[in-house]
Structure 1
Amino acid sequence: MQVELRHLRALCAIADAGSVSRAAATLGVSQPALAAQLHRIEAALGGQVFRRGRLGVTPTPFGRFVLNRARSALMTVDELLTGPADGTDGVRIGGYATPVLSGLLHRLFELPGSRITVQTEYSPRLLLDLLVSRRLDVATLVDYPGHELPVMPGIGTQLIAVEPVFVALPAGHRFAGCDEVVLADLAGEDWLVTPPDGAGWPECFYSACQEAGFTPRVRHMMTERDMIRTLVGEGRAVAPCQATWRAGPDIMMRPLAGPPLWMRHLLAWRHGGPLADRIGELRAFAEEAYRDAIADSPAYARWHHTRVMEG
């Protein structure tokens, strides 16, 4: 037997009801039919999902594993099948976890009567697709030189900020005390980079390294910020990072010398969406949030002040 979505829903219904008979009533089938189906599902999965008792059923350790995966799979499928937003659930805002998104949300949640649903995704291109499919109303996006996000029908965008890419170094690194670091001087380092995001990262970083005359030796690839801090802080690697990234006492953030590798922060929205007539206000919120992020990053604040004075 091949396990299908309806079988996963049956397992979840049994777990939620605590008994096969109560789950059968919920699903509109007979208790013997559901019990027989459960036996076939367990045989297909190769293990007992529920422990039967006088008062009902409880998941086995294997069953808890199965149910966790089943609920996750059903949630993903239900999300795919959900129709476009109709505005009844409030405003849907998405983005990657940047200071622009967090600062914008903080300001929006403070507004009276705000009804906001938040969805974070790692891929800017996926967020753009969610806007196009009307599953999001507003999103904060990023893109990179030579990999600018495409212009999409029905979607408006405004530039919030252009941010340089910094490098995170262990506090004891030989270049940690420098005002800026030449990328080519890091050619012999072990690198940690975040995975491809479908919008040009880390391809633009690899291109910058090639232009500097070397291919980076990427030892680690991850998104978990605590693990990144640990590996860099322990001297296991150096890492390209956002200038607004909050590092830690064992890490020094340093700008790259010369024309910096950069990323753009964008605000995007659906034309005709619930916030389309308030984009000016949202842009002001996002820009204010980004200024606060600069102030919270001493290394970036110094770099930014120098550039403003030179400009």
Structure 2
Amino acid sequence: MQVELRHLRVICAIADAGSLSRAANAVGVSQPALTAQLQRVEGALSGQIFRRGRRGVTPTPFGQFVLTRARSILLAVDELVTGAGAYDGRSDLARIGGYVTPLLSGLVARLFTMPGLTITVHTEYSPRLLLDLLASRRLDAATLVDYPGNELPAAPSVGMRLVATEPVFVLMSSGHPLAGQEEVELADLAGDDWVISPPDGVGWPECVYSACQKAGFVPRVPHSMTEHAMIRQLVAGGHAISPCQATVQDGPGIVVRPLAGTPLWLRHLVAWRRDGPLAQRAEELAEVAAQAHREAIADRPHYAAWIARNGAAQTPG
């Protein structure tokens, strides 16, 4: 038997009801029919999903694994099917997207305080995907990043405003031989292991490899991941260095250092649907995003010091 979405909905219904009889009533079938269907699903997955008892059913450890995956799959499918139009027409709801950055968190915190506006938040790693979600009416506004020379394409239905252009820094262990320097030459990192996040669809990490090649080396990259906590763990342990946004926070065992000559840049942007609930507040949205970015800079001494030496963040020439 091939497991289908309807089978996943059945096992979720059984877990939610806590008994086969209640679940049968909820899905509108007889209890024997539901029991037979559950047995077929368990056979197809080669494991028992529920333990039966006098008080009902409880998931087995394998069942917990299956239920976690099933709920995730169903949520994604439901979002795919209904996401485009589920909230259209609601002028009080703004669906905000973005990659997890201080700019996004600062923007969302400010939007939550706006009267008469309800906020939902959706994060994604790829700026290109976020732009597609805006164009397909699944988001109303988003914070995006791209890279000079690899700018995001224009979308007729989406407005976009540059918030800031800023340098890319490097995250390294506080015990790194270069950690005490004010700025680090990119070429001096040729002998390090790197952890670099995977392609985001708009030029990362291709821009990193290009900058390293111009500095005379190809980076050694044994680690690839997007999880911030794991990246910081590897770096703090002295196992790797990592390129990072200038607004990344340092911490125990970790320092953030500028790259001498600023060979890498990124752009922060805010975008919105031209027919969405924030279209008439685009100027306000852009200003709120800029405030959030300025606040993040003020809270990052390494970035504030770089600006004091180099002037305000500027577009690379």
- Confirm or deny a common fold (TM above 0.5): yes
Aligned to 1:181: 184
Deviations 1:158-180 (A, max 9, x none): 00000100011222222222221
Aligned to 1:141: 144
Tell me which of 297, 304, 308 is aligned to 2:307: 304
Alignment of 1:18-33 (within 5 A): 18-33=18-33
For the residue of structure 1 that corresponds to 2:212, the secondary structure is helix
Deviations 1:223-270 (A, max 9, x none): 222222222122111111111000213222111112431000001011
Aligned to 1:60: 60
For the residue of structure 1 that corresponds to 2:195, the secondary structure is strand
Which deviates more, 201-210 or 217-226?
Answer: 217-226
Q: Aligned letter for 1:101?
A: L
Aligned to 1:123: 126
For the residue of structure 2 that corresponds to 1:32, the secondary structure is helix
Alignment of 1:70-81 (within 5 A): 70-81=70-81
Rounded to whole Å, the distance in 1 between the matches of 2:19 and 2:192 is 58
Whether the aligned pair in 1 keeps the contact of 2:168 and 2:262 (CA below 8 Å) is no
- Determine if the alignment matches structure 1 residue 249 to structure 2 residue 242: no
Q: Aligned letter for 2:114?
A: L
Tell me how far 1:310 sits from its aligned partner. 11
Rounded to whole Å, the distance in 2 between the matches of 1:292 and 1:41 is 53
Alignment of 1:114-263 (within 5 A): 114-263=117-266
Tell me how far 1:114 sits from its aligned partner. 2.6
Tell me which of 86, 89, 92 is aligned to 2:88: 86
For the residue of structure 1 that corresponds to 2:163, the secondary structure is strand
Rounded to whole Å, the distance in 1 between the matches of 2:13 and 2:245 is 45
For the residue of structure 2 that corresponds to 1:205, the secondary structure is helix
Tell me how far 1:87 sits from its aligned partner. 4.0
225 and 301 in structure 1: CA distance in 2 versus 1, 3 angstrom threshold: same
Q: CA RMSD in A?
A: 1.6
Rounded to whole Å, the distance in 2 between the matches of 1:64 and 1:101 is 33
146 and 110 in structure 1: CA distance in 2 versus 1, 3 angstrom threshold: same
> Percent identity, aligned pairs only?
67
Aligned to 2:8: 8
Deviations 1:81-137 (A, max 9, x none): 113231437110100111111111111111223311110111111100100010100
Rounded to whole Å, the distance in 1 between the matches of 2:153 and 2:254 is 35
Rounded to whole Å, the distance in 1 between the matches of 2:8 and 2:252 is 47
Q: How many residues align?
A: 311
Tell me how far 1:296 sits from its aligned partner. 0.9
Aligned to 2:108: 105
- Determine if the alignment matches structure 1 residue 42 to structure 2 residue 45: no
For the residue of structure 2 that corresponds to 1:300, the secondary structure is helix
Rounded to whole Å, the distance in 2 between the matches of 1:259 and 1:58 is 57
Whether the aligned pair in 2 keeps the contact of 1:145 and 1:204 (CA below 8 Å) is no
Aligned to 1:281: 284
**Normalising to structure 2: TM-score of the pair?**
0.94
Rounded to whole Å, the distance in 1 between the matches of 2:139 and 2:171 is 33
For the residue of structure 2 that corresponds to 1:77, the secondary structure is helix
Deviations 1:20-42 (A, max 9, x none): 12111111112221111111111
Rounded to whole Å, the distance in 1 between the matches of 2:232 and 2:129 is 27
Q: Aligned letter for 2:152?
A: L
**Normalising to structure 1: TM-score of the pair?**
0.96
For the residue of structure 1 that corresponds to 2:311, the secondary structure is helix
For the residue of structure 2 that corresponds to 1:249, the secondary structure is coil
Q: Aligned letter for 1:77?
A: V
Rounded to whole Å, the distance in 1 between the matches of 2:33 and 2:305 is 70
Whether the aligned pair in 2 keeps the contact of 1:146 and 1:204 (CA below 8 Å) is no
For the residue of structure 2 that corresponds to 1:266, the secondary structure is strand
Q: Aligned letter for 2:215?
A: A
Which deviates more, 250-259 or 115-124?
Answer: 250-259
Rounded to whole Å, the distance in 2 between the matches of 1:157 and 1:300 is 25
219 and 270 in structure 1: CA distance in 2 versus 1, 3 angstrom threshold: same
Runs ≥4 residues deviating over 3 A: none
